Amino acid sequence: MNAGGHGDDPADGWFPESVAAGYDAPGGSNAPDVVAPAVEVLAELADGPVLELAVGTGRIAAPLAARGVPVSGIELSRAMAARIADKPGGADVAVTIGDMTTTRVPGEFSLVYLVFNTIGNVTTQDGQVEVFRNAAEHLRPGGLFLVEVGLPDLRRLPPGQDVVPFALAPRPDGGGYLGFDQYDVTTQELTSTHVTVSADGTGSLRRMPFRYVWPSELDLMARIAGMRPKYRWADWDRSPLTAECTRHVSVWEKVAAP
């Protein structure tokens, strides 16, 4: 279920115009202290052209291009991609509209990256395997594939419960925001539910499907695609992953052909 907006193009998937219009709101994932550390790491790993899978509105790609890194991007949603060129550096990002499981762009890349949990937007194991395969096909030997994704929050699920709340933000005007994740531990389906209520009592309910995936399964997908683990960090600060971490930044290296 997606509240959606009039005029949304179904081809834009879960990120049509009505979502894209609010995606670049200040703060949250757009805050400079969230964007800058990611751009810093990506710029350090880049050793030539880079490719962002699911580049969105250029939140990360545009500032990376502004640093002089040649950036290409693949993106499903025209509504999201239309916003890239408006950002500093964005006009230099070469965007191809398409599905990251299959779309091939010209060139050979030093780094392919897929951030902000977006591997989970591909909701089948076969599809996620194809993302890894496609990433590897864009890499030169020794090139790197980086994924940033949350760790499944199953430790917060008591027996008999399948919902984990992640936000409860009432506002003084009577409105507010509620967020829940619902897990199916038999299928690795994860559905995020966002409830937004306005002061007048009207509101919207938006549900988005994901496939959650463990680091070990990602390692296996990388191996299938001819890559091997290179780094695994808890965050963009390159701190080590521990049992208390909520997400990880992992990097695999394309194995040179024998």
Ligand X SMILES: C[S@@+](CC[C@H](N)C(=O)[O-])C[C@H]1O[C@@H](n2cnc3c(N)ncnc32)[C@H](O)[C@@H]1O
Q: Which residues bind ligand X (CB under 6 A)?
A: 13, 15, 54-56, 59-60, 74-77, 80, 99-101, 115-116, 118, 121-122
Assign 133 to helix, strand or coil: helix
> Smallest distance from the beta carbon of 202 to ligand X, in angstroms?
26
Q: Output the residue with the shortest Cβ distance to ligand X.
A: 56
Nearer Cβ to ligand X (137/255): 137
> Smallest distance from the beta carbon of 60 to ligand X, in angstroms?
5
Between CA 245 and CA 178, with CA 171 as vertex, the angle to 5 degrees is 45
Assign 48 to helix, strand or coil: coil
Nearer Cβ to ligand X (77/110): 77
Nearer Cβ to ligand X (84/164): 84
Say which residues have a Cβ less than 8 Å from residue 216's Cβ, sequence separation at least 6.
none
Say which residues have a Cβ less than 8 Å from residue 173's Cβ, sequence separation at least 6.
199
> Smallest distance from the beta carbon of 168 to ligand X, in angstroms?
22
Q: What letters, b where the CB count within 10 A reaches 16 and e where it falls short, cover 64-93?
A: bbbeebbbbbbbbbbbbbbbbeebebbebb
Nearer Cβ to ligand X (76/227): 76
> Smallest distance from the beta carbon of 98 to ligand X, in angstroms?
7
